Amino acid sequence: MIKLLSMILMGLYLAGPAYSDDGNEMLQKVDRNLNPDSFETYRKLINIEPDGSKKEFIMFTVKKGRDQVASVFLSPASEKGRATLRLGDNMWLYIPNVGKPIRITSLQSVTGGIFNNADIMRLDYNAEYNCEKMEQKEGLMVLHLKAKSRSVAYDSLKMWVDNKKLLPNTIECRASSGMLIKTLYFKKVQDFGGGILRPAVVETDSPLHKGYKSIMIFARMKKRDLPDEAFTLNFLPRVESLR
């Protein structure tokens, strides 16, 4: 009887989702190396079209803990003052003059181009993904990440991690069908001061938008601890006052 019970329990264990504790630990380290737990940063987003023409946006962003992110557009003039808030799976967009913030979804894009709202208001990877498998490939560690819930923008990620710096090199984002949605390339590792050493540039392309490219450049990232009230709908129109 005990044998039978043990076999059933073993069977259930093997049938359940496989998680890699080492992989999740590495993912947490990657998250902390990409940014402090709570921080502020400026970002420049550049959408590049196939003919080389560009559209640029500058944003000021604050993040607190695992799942609170607020951003405001500083330029161009047509977008100035637009602000976004993310609390976990909830996202809102505030457009000045229009008034109240409206709910938006992770798959939309407030900037157009290849970065969607989930990329622009990214949470820590370990907040949204579990590592199912890790493997060594061509001098890099490859983490196979699976979304913790269906509300996450990408069903799975394949993350190539620099073993020494514990920073991502490339991330492939896939839909539940396995289709590649986009690839993120992390470039130009830079010392931001305060112990923050991370890629200053994230570039992305997508087989769904051949020839198009979007780039995110980070500047002046630094630790900053803000009260939770800075991450609320009522405060959203005033995010720029945090600069």
In terms of CB distance, is 170 or 190 closer to other proteins?
Answer: 190
Among 32, 55, 174, 223, binds other proteins (CB under 8 A): 55
Reduce the DSSP state of residue 214 to 3 states and report it: strand
Closest CA to 86 of 243, 242, 241, 239: 239
Among 29, 46, 133, 174, binds other proteins (CB under 8 A): 46
Contact 60, 69 (CB under 8 A): no
Closest CA to 39 of 11, 71, 12: 71
Site for other proteins in 3-42 (CB under 8 A): 42
Among 4, 51, 136, 164, binds other proteins (CB under 8 A): 51
- Give the x-and-dash track for 132-161 against other proteins (CB under 8 A): ------------------xx-x--------
Q: How many CB atoms lie within 10 A of CB 99?
A: 9
Contact 83, 241 (CB under 8 A): no
Closest CA to 105 of 64, 173, 57, 151: 151
Site for other proteins in 75-134 (CB under 8 A): 75-78, 80, 87-90, 95, 97-100, 102-103, 105-109, 112-113
**Nearest distance in Å: CB 113, other proteins:** 7
Q: Write out the two tokens for 92.
A: 């809102």
Span near other proteins by CB under 8 A; candidates 23-31, 69-77, 128-136, 137-145: 69-77
Distances (CA, A) of 200 to 6, 74, 87: 51, 19, 25
Using CB under 8 A, list all residues that contact other proteins. Answer: 42, 44, 46-56, 58, 60, 74-78, 80, 87-90, 95, 97-100, 102-103, 105-109, 112-113, 150-151, 153, 190, 200, 209-213, 215, 217, 219-220, 226-235, 238, 241-243
